[in-house]
Amino acid sequence: MSALKLSFEQLLMKQSTSLINSDPKNFQTTWSEASFDVLDWFGIDRLTLYPNSMVLLEEGKTCSVSKAHIPPVNIKSLVGGNYLDYLKLLKTNETYLAFTSNELVSSKNYVLKKLYKEGGRWHCIIPLQLFNQRWGALSFTNFHDNDTTFDLEDIQRLKLVCELWLCYWQHSTLARTLKQNENLLEDDSEKLLLLTKKQTKVLTLIAQGFSAKECADKLHLSSRTIESHKYRMLGLLNLNSHNDLIQFALRNGLGIAENIHTTR
C-alpha cells in the first residue's frame, strides 16, 4: 500500500466533515468526490457498492468510483454466463473474500474472469451489515498489480468507512423526505381552502374507510352526490386517484376525526 498522508482517524474525520456538510440533494455527488480519498488511502483502484436490502444508494443502482486510468464499472458487460454466481458471492457469510490474479484468471465465475480480462489483478468482496442487518456489499479491485494484500485490520477499517457512508446516506434521505413533506403541507394548506364544508366532511369519511353508500347514509345524501363530490375534489386538489385523495386527507388529519355532524 502507498504511503499514507493522513492517519485513519483523520481520514474518517475528513469523510464525516464532507458528508455532514453536504446538501442532502447533492449527497451522491459529494459521496463520489469523498470516496476518492478512500481509494488513495487504501491504495485501491476501483470500488463498487452493491446495495441489496436496507438502503439503496443512487435510487437503488450500483454505484462505483474508479481512478482516472482505470476502466469504470460497466454492469451490462458483466451480465452474462453464470453471473448470478457472483451475486451469491456478495452475500457471503465470510468476513471477506479475496481473489489473486491466478484465481481470477482460472476462475469459472463469469464476472471474475471478466474482471481479469479488463485488467483486474486482485479483487476483494466484503459483505456489509449495520445494526445486525445486511445492507449490501462492497467490492474493490486493483489493476496491473499482482502484489496487493489486505490484512484483517484493513478490511475492518474499510467496513467502518462504509458504515459511516451508510449513516450519512440515511440522514440525507431523511432530510430530503422531511423537506418534501414540508412542501406538501405548504401546498395542502392552500388546497384545503378550496374545499367546501360539505366536501371536507365527505373527504373525512372517505379517509376513514367508508364507502360512497355509507358516506351518503351518514350525510343524508345520495351515493351519486358523494361520487360527484369525490370527482370534483380530485379536480380541485389536482389529484389523480382515490388513493391520492385518501393520502391527502390523512396527511392533513382529516381521517382521524371522531365524529361527523350530519346536519344538512
Secondary structure (3-state) at 165:
helix
Secondary structure (3-state) at 47:
strand
C-alpha angle 115-119-120 in degrees, rounded to nearest 5: 50
Instruction: At 71, list the grid cell.
Output: 476502466
Instruction: Give CATH for domain 8-177.
Output: 3.30.450.40
Confidence check: pLDDT of 42 > 90: yes
The helix or strand, by DSSP H or E, that contains position 196, with its residue range, turns out to be none
Domain locations in the chain?
8-177, 194-256
Instruction: At 135, list the grid cell.
Output: 445492507
Confidence class of residue 3 from pLDDT cuts 50, 70 and 90? very low
Which pairs count as long-range contacts for 224-231, CB under 8 Å and 24+ apart, including other chains?
Answer: 226/202, 229/198, 229/199, 229/202, 230/202, 230/206
CATH 1.10.10.10 fits 194-256, yes or no: yes
Q: Give me the percent of the chain exceeding a pLDDT of 70.
A: 84
Instruction: At 59, list the grid cell.
Output: 435510487
Confidence class of residue 119 from pLDDT cuts 50, 70 and 90? very high
Q: Give me the percent of the chain exceeding a pLDDT of 90.
A: 38
Of 54-63, 83-92, 159-168, 209-218, the range with the lowest mean pLDDT is: 54-63
The DSSP bridge partners found for residue 141 are: 46, 123
- Can you give the pLDDT at residue 263? 39
Mean pLDDT of the chain: 82
pLDDT tens digit string along 147-205?
778 899 999 999 999 888 887 877 777 666 666 655 555 567 677 888 898 999 999 99
Instruction: At 208, list the grid cell.
Output: 376513514
- Can you give the pLDDT at residue 39? 94
The amino acid that residue 222 corresponds to is: S
Q: What is the pTM of this model?
A: 0.63
d(CA 78, CA 192): 52
